[in-house]
Structure 1
């Protein structure tokens, strides 16, 4: 589809008491991910009610952007190698969105 972007919304539930470590690693992952050519934005949020729960919102220039992201060295090292073992569970959903033309 022309003029589409990929929006990714992920919910991370860290193991009890691991929220500080997940937060620290997500900060590093976000910083590296924002440098990817297909990445438009990468933001994450920590719950105020439960410090072990996070929401990550990512936007990519194309539908393949998430797969490209998942193959990067930083995602494999930080996301797969460090964060995943600290999680109790995660839920990741992807959505195609229309990329609006720039406003004048």
Structure 2
């Protein structure tokens, strides 16, 4: 069973970076999920899919996997895209590329 170590990206619902500073260890699913035919519930017999461990650093997560003899893959976080710094007053500049109208 392979574990995946990654750093979660920030949520799309907020502009903050909450819960995106820790590294997370999750197990890859060992078996596919099944749909129960009567009620339509999704279930799985894989108990490791419920485990989610968090670590302060990537090195701590790797050391844990090596200590417990767990095969792992590390996913490096993507670099954040930079946006130009704009202020509200830039909307009303006289040398604006596109004229401001109502």
TM over 0.5: no
Q: Which protein is bigger by CA-based radius of gyration?
A: 2
Structure holding more helix per residue: 1
Structure holding more strand per residue: 1
Calculate the TM-score normalised by the size of structure 2: 0.31
Higher relative contact order (Cα pairs below 8 Å, separated by 6+ residues): 1
